[in-house]
Amino acid sequence: MKILVAVKRVVDANVKVRVKSDGTGMELANAKMAMNPFCEIAVEQAVRMKEEGQAEEIVAVSVGPQVCQEQLRTALALGCDRGILVTADSDVAPLQVARILKALLDRENPDLVILGKQSIDSDNNQVGQMLAALAGMGQGTFACKAELDDGRITVTREIDGGEQTVSLKLPAVVTTDLRLNEPRYASLPNIMKAKRKPIDELTPVDLGVDTASNLATLRVSPPAEREAGIIVETVHDLVDKLKTDARVI
């Protein structure tokens, strides 16, 4: 079985980002970059499936500039077998990313596609669902548990009311949630081995995909400052505040 895993380069989750003074985006100059945390979970899940003998090959894919090779090398150090970088100098909208991945599906014919449920920079939570629709595959989103068995994958999804379990026929698309697993750290020997693993470079033109987007970011602004809280003397005062001021009850 072949597994395709998508990874994205984002600002490190431990870095506090700032909005540019002109409001056109985030200030990324000299910011530490890393693999999207949800993508790390996707890579870990694919590697675990391979270690259990359920997969023979894992292909890591990234869409972005040349520097995305760093994140692909990280995925290779974690256990992926080879990488594919689809180079794009500008930001690619979710629908165009899904179309690129669909073109790669036609080339690679994987049995399973695993993606993070969303990236921590744009928070769109769209690519997995769009890819499944374009490819005509079943989808198990927000997975907190995934088990392969006899040509199917059983996915437990985290939903507002609790959990939902779905059984999907392969090939399928799965997007990972935080509680699916705990990603490992790459060991130094595996980091060295990853340098010798192949990374193929393609362009959207090679895949027949137009990356022109109908979306435009008008303005980016930081969240509003939270107001200081107050201390009430009695439960009666608290209920009164919730009714008259907050108007939540």
Residue 6 in domain: yes
Q: How far apart are CA 164 and CA 142, in angstroms?
A: 10
The pLDDT confidence band at residue 7, using thresholds 50, 70 and 90, is very high
Structural contact between residues 154 and 146, judged by C-beta atoms closer than 8 angstroms: yes
**CATH value at residue 13:** 3.40.50.620
Q: Which of 12-16, 66-70, 165-169, 213-217 has the lowest mean pLDDT?
A: 213-217
Residue 227 in domain: no
Range of the domain at 33: 2-221
- In the chain the beta strands, taken as DSSP E runs, fall at 2-6, 9-11, 33-35, 57-64, 82-87, 112-116, 138-149, 152-159, 162-169, 172-176, 199-202
Query: What mean pLDDT, rounded, does the chain reach?
Result: 93
Residue 201 has pLDDT above 90, yes or no: yes
pLDDT at 217: 84
Residue 234 in domain: no
Residue 96 has pLDDT above 90, yes or no: yes
Residue 236 in domain: no
| Domains of the chain: total | 1
Residue 79 in domain: yes
pLDDT at 26: 85
Can you tell me the mean pLDDT for 54-79?
Answer: 96
Q: How far apart are CA 184 and CA 124, in angstroms?
A: 26
Residue 26 in domain: yes
Residue 246 in domain: no
- Phi, psi values for residue 112, rounded to 5°: -150, 140
Residue 244 in domain: no
The pLDDT confidence band at residue 155, using thresholds 50, 70 and 90, is very high
